[in-house]
Copies of this chain bind each other. A is one copy, B any other.
Amino acid sequence: MDQNKTPGEKPGHPPAQATLHEVRTAENSAAYLLPKLQTMKESNPHLKLLDVGSGSGTISVSFAKLIPEGHVTGVDVNPNILPRARAVAEMAGVQNIEFQQGNINKLPFADETFDITFCHQVLIHIGTPWHALHEMLRVTKRGGIVATREGDYETESIWPELPELDKFHKLMAGLMSAGGGAPSAGRRLLYWGLRAGAERNQITVSYSTTSYHTLNDRKICCKFHCSTLLLAIAVMALIVIFSLAQGLCDQLRGGSLREKALKFGLGTENDFEEMAKAWEEWAERDDAILAMLQGEILIQK
């Protein structure tokens, strides 16, 4: 992405949104898929790739750059994000791409349309992910690939072990479950793939990590891990808008996350105040780290 013209600088779009969702690229979020994509591209440069749950489109756009003679389609259940995704593509000067509204459980495409069908941090939020994978397999050509990477939120590893951060973790997991998702999605991907109808020998499993432990900019570190935490409930249609470390604290104190959590009986006003203070303490500490496992599968159709 052009460092001098990030999506966040576009008028009408807050920088925080860009730094939260739009740091994602094929390189940092789909490394497990790229060797296979390169091999497929060598025999067919005109690959058709579908990114399901494409959001603001940064991963889709980086895929489009990787297959300049191919074509990328991004779909998202939320039509309001589509203009943003198109703007991201335009800013990047990418033209072999289109975005449209679509639901992962009923994709608006004919059978065997795409060479690669991809989603990232989507199955973790839905109740019947094997149906979604079955639908992704349906729209994938024979000889093509279905690929997904999902966090295993139950492996989240935080230091220092402040009790309020543990409460925050439970709150997030509770919200995710309440919305029909599975916080431990990463470990379930193989099971979901089999339940979607794939044979075991069609599925390649791998794991990677996300982690936050940078030295020089603790606010940015905090912002990143807050994004990890809050992205977990993005598909539940919670408003996830905040910036830097302070952004999370403001949201905990007064925002929609609190209202949602109170509705589910997951916390009190005092709980949120304490969690906000804990994040502030975390952000100040030299020994602060956050890490999590990411599960990944490739299904060879």
Residues of A at the B interface (CB closer than 8 Å) are 152, 154-160, 184, 186-188, 190-191, 194, 200-201, 203, 205-209, 211, 213, 215, 286-287, 289, 291-293, 295
Q: Which residues of B contact A159 (CB under 8 A)?
A: 187-188, 190-191
Interface of A is mostly: strand
With A207-B209, A211-B205, A293-B209 as given contacts, are A190 and B287 in contact (CB-CB < 8 Å)? yes
Query: Which of B191, B201, B207 meets A215, CB within 8 Å?
Result: B201
Check A200/B188 contact, CB under 8 A, given A157-B293, A209-B209.
Answer: no
Taking CB atoms, residues of chain B closer than 8 Å to A156 are 155
Question: If A155-B155, A157-B154, A289-B190 touch, does A213 touch B209 (CB 8 Å cutoff)?
Answer: no
Q: CA separation between A286 and B158, bound complex, in Å?
A: 32
A165 to chain B, nearest CB (A): 12
Q: Tell me which residues across on chain B come within 8 A of A155, comparing CB atoms.
A: 155-157, 291-293
In the bound assembly, the distance between CA atoms of A203 and B288 in angstroms comes to: 13
> For A211, what are the chain B residues with a Cβ–Cβ distance below 8 Å?
205-207
Contact B215 A200 (CB under 8 A): yes
Question: Lowest 9 CB-CB distances: which A-B pairs, in order?
Answer: A155-B155, A191-B287, A205-B213, A207-B209, A157-B187, A159-B187, A207-B211, A200-B286, A207-B291
A205 with B289: CB separation less than 8 A? yes
Which residues of chain B come closer than 8 Å to A203, judged between CB atoms? Answer: 215
Give every chain B residue within 8 A of A186 (Cβ-Cβ). 157, 291
Across-interface contacts of A188 in B (CB, < 8 A):
159
Residues from chain B with Cβ under 8 Å of A157 in the complex: 152, 154-155, 184, 186-187, 293, 295
CB distance from A80 to the nearest CB of B (A): 34
**A228 to B212 alpha-carbon distance, docked (Å):** 25
Besides A201-B215, A209-B293, 20 more A-B contacts (Cβ < 8 Å) are A152-B291, A155-B156, A155-B157, A155-B293, A157-B187, A157-B295, A158-B187, A159-B187, A159-B188, A186-B291, A190-B213, A190-B289, A191-B287, A200-B215, A205-B211, A206-B211, A207-B209, A209-B209, A291-B293, A293-B293
Closest CB-CB distance, A218 to chain B, in whole Å? 10
